[in-house]
Amino acid sequence: MPLRIPDRLPAIDILKKENIFVMDDTRAHTQDIRPLRIVILNLMPLKITTETDLIRLLSNTPLQLDITFMKVRSHTPKNTPIEHMMMFYKAFDELEPQKFDGMIVTGAPVESYDFEDVTYWEEMVTILDWARTHVTSTLYICWAAQAALYHFYGIPKYPLQQKLFGVFQQHVLTRDLPIFRGFDDEFFMPHSRHSEVRKADIVAHPALTLLAEGPQSGVSMMMAREGREFFITGHLEYAPDTLDNEYRRDVGKRDDVDVPVNYYRDNNPQHRPFVRWRAHANLLFSNWINYYVYQTTPYNIDEIR
């Protein structure tokens, strides 16, 4: 089944060229199917790129998904046209009365700030609390994972001496969970961050389950509330060229930009990226939608508590 996404969203044309089946609102209204409602709070600066990356992964499911994009009112993005935001995004107060089967909260380029110093932190806290009673399962990515762990469980983040930048091996620690159905014992995950949460803090908290970690990247996946909350410290959603674009954007402009680890063939930026995470990325998003959203959400969406 296809994804149902807003008419004229730029991702539609991109994904159709990749032979990914998407359906705009006009056609979807003619189908008598209860789609799963997924809301995406997109905090990344390049909104259209992130939209496309996430929709590409969400399309790998036989279920029809109705995608809604959320924005915060207390921050105006500088890298996305205001017309795009007005056409495709809704503010939290517009969506607050509604309920959703699943939610994704993206990372954000605010790692160097204390949480309380982020301009939209107060609104972010309101959205985090709202998700617990209005969403069946929420997937927090990178900075959003750190923010949710801090707000709900008091887990601090720590600055890294050097940016964690590249594609890093991860080890599955809890193989019997449906989120890892079809996974190998090891998989790879892109990371691009200046801070971390630490294993000692995670395992000391009885409400948190550590799911995966890597020898270089540290903890990479955690779960709480029996799968109603997932926390991912990296970026499995990244397209093959995302790290390359970030590297070429920053190299020569800053003094802390290293070649992304385990990314280019022969670690040479003149060569193509060596993509080794896409299969597991598709598996993870498919498993999340199937086992933690579709099979647990009530048919009557108003019954979500």
pLDDT tens, residue by residue, 263-293: 999 999 999 999 999 999 999 999 999 999 9
Query: Considering the chain, what percentage of its residues have pLDDT values greater than 90?
Result: 74
d(CA 117, CA 177): 36
pLDDT at 17: 62
Lowest-confidence pick of 76-85, 98-107, 168-177, 238-247: 76-85
- Side chain identity at 199, as an amino acid letter? K
Pick the residue with more confidence: 272 or 15?
272
**Local structure of 7: helix, strand or coil:** coil
Q: Give catalytic status of residue 111 as yes or no.
A: no
Q: Give catalytic status of residue 142 as yes or no.
A: yes
Residue closest to 116 by CA, chosen among 157, 78, 77, 161: 157
Say whether pTM exceeds 0.75: yes
Query: DSSP class of residue 36?
Result: E
Query: DSSP class of residue 260?
Result: P
Mean pLDDT of 153-180: 96
Of 134, 191, 235, 280, which is the active-site residue? 235
Mean pLDDT for all residues in the chain? 90
| DSSP β-ladder status, 229-232 and 218-224 | antiparallel
**Local structure of 208: helix, strand or coil:** strand
Of 196, 213, 229, 237, which is the active-site residue? 237
Alpha helices in the chain (DSSP H): 10-17, 25-28, 47-58, 82-88, 92-95, 121-134, 143-153, 199-203, 242-250, 278-287
Residue closest to 284 by CA, chosen among 243, 244, 240, 231: 231
Cα 136 to its chain centre, rounded Å, is 16
Of 142, 191, 229, 280, which is the active-site residue? 142
Q: Give catalytic status of residue 237 as yes or no.
A: yes
pLDDT at 28: 43
To 5 degrees, how large is the angle CA 31–CA 28–CA 77?
A: 155
pLDDT at 19 over 90: no
pLDDT at 195 over 50: yes
